[in-house]
Chains A and B, each alone.
Chain A
């Protein structure tokens, strides 16, 4: 491993996973309507961190309390917290979160992905990039960038 490719944060603190959502009787009821809720969005976001072979949830990059969804208003807001304040992967993590949500939510949703306030040195710049749908669209047509994003989104089949 050359110095250039050393991991930025070799020993992130690992948090306990929240475990599988338990099924409720309503969810089994054919006729009941289950609104899309925060936990559901949070579960969708079990994305691989590009630096660590763990999911973003393990690293508390995404926490359930930082997910806000309004099913009726068709809006989703996610704040993520990069593991260290200068993490250069922040944009990539954010892009992966955004892409995962674009692929996983109905078209009607407006999706906002932002860095948790105060957790990253270039918070505004990253937020602005993630909010620009033209840049996001262009990025996803760039095959090497798409490759990295896809790798983050590959479910780990062990």
Chain B
């Protein structure tokens, strides 16, 4: 088997600072990065290289922690430690600040668009969701939220070591399931293409795969169970995880400076899946890797970013 990660590009995205997060636009043509220098940069391919198309400064007073594209690709939301969320609208080749959402008391650490594009979830230190409603399920701050790929269902990862699943009920968002199993802060979450399975990454240096099972009585809430744990691969915190919707490959970003890709053994029992390490780059970055993101359109194209201020683009080579 010949599988590997090949470095295609490495760029200093946020010099003298850290790059916290990168995000592909839905068409996979643009990449947004954000970091400790309070700026957001939009990168695009030009010929054989990646260049910075525009820099969004002055939107935030502190670190920009995460950025998220709307499903239509025309809006960009950014979450910052300055307790605000900015919505940017794409206009020709530039972006303009559309609105600033205030309402968090503390640092906003994540933002995500619902698949319909109508709902935007942001969260701050004290587990609050904005816009539609405020939900309090975690006992500590929330590290990450993701939307289900097709349903209006939200998953959140928290400092309290748990994952919560929310669904709308009578105009209110309620926690329908709490996934317990990690022994330290949960940093990353990713749904698979179908939304039936959820991968999580944690400070306990493991990755877990969770699957939704219908309730045995056939009614009420379904339940989520951990069907697989990947341990022994990561040397430090696993900060992020990404599940490629095109290939099913699972990529992780870790505080041990490495990027790893796992593939599922397709012959195994789907309720007891087996994942194996398909490729890894141990010194992918000079410092902690904070984020991994699969390109939504081009299979095997992976973006990563790090505390060293760089982002990198890799090619994951499938077996010949």
**Chain B contacts of A108 at CB under 8 A?**
286-287
A141 at the interface (CB under 8 A from B): yes
Q: Provided the pairs A107-B287, A134-B109, A141-B63 are in contact, do residues A128 and B81 lie with their beta carbons within 8 angstroms?
A: no
B188 at the interface (CB under 8 A from A): no
Pair A137/B36 contact, Cβ less than 8 Å: yes
**Chain A contacts of B106 at CB under 8 A?**
138
A132 CA / B107 CA spacing, docked (Å)? 14
- A-B pairs with beta carbons under 8 Å apart, 9 shown: A107-B307, A108-B287, A132-B159, A132-B185, A137-B18, A137-B36, A137-B63, A138-B62, A141-B63
For chain A, what secondary structure do more than half of its interface residues adopt (helix, strand, loop), or is it mixed?
helix
B308 at the interface (CB under 8 A from A): yes
**Chain A residue with Cβ nearest B106:** A138
B residues within 8 Å of A by Cβ? 18, 36, 62-63, 65, 81, 106-107, 109, 125, 141, 143, 159, 184-185, 203, 236-237, 255-256, 286-288, 307-308
Pair B286/A107 contact, Cβ less than 8 Å: yes
Pair B286/A138 contact, Cβ less than 8 Å: no
Pair A134/B143 contact, Cβ less than 8 Å: yes
Shortest Cβ distance from residue A56 to the other chain B in the assembled complex, whole angstroms:
26
> Restricting to A104-156, which residues have a CB under 8 Å from any CB of B?
107-108, 110, 128, 131-135, 137-138, 141
Pair B81/A137 contact, Cβ less than 8 Å: yes
Shortest Cβ distance from residue A19 to the other chain B in the assembled complex, whole angstroms:
35
Q: Provided the pairs A107-B308, A132-B185 are in contact, do residues A138 and B63 lie with their beta carbons within 8 angstroms?
A: yes
Pair A131/B62 contact, Cβ less than 8 Å: no
Choose from B81, B287, B288 the contact partner of A138 (Cβ within 8 Å). Answer: B81
Q: Mark A23-67, 1 if CB is under 8 A from B, else 0.
A: 000000000000000000000000000000000000000000000
> Which of A132, A134, A141 has the most B CB atoms < 10 Å from its CB?
A134
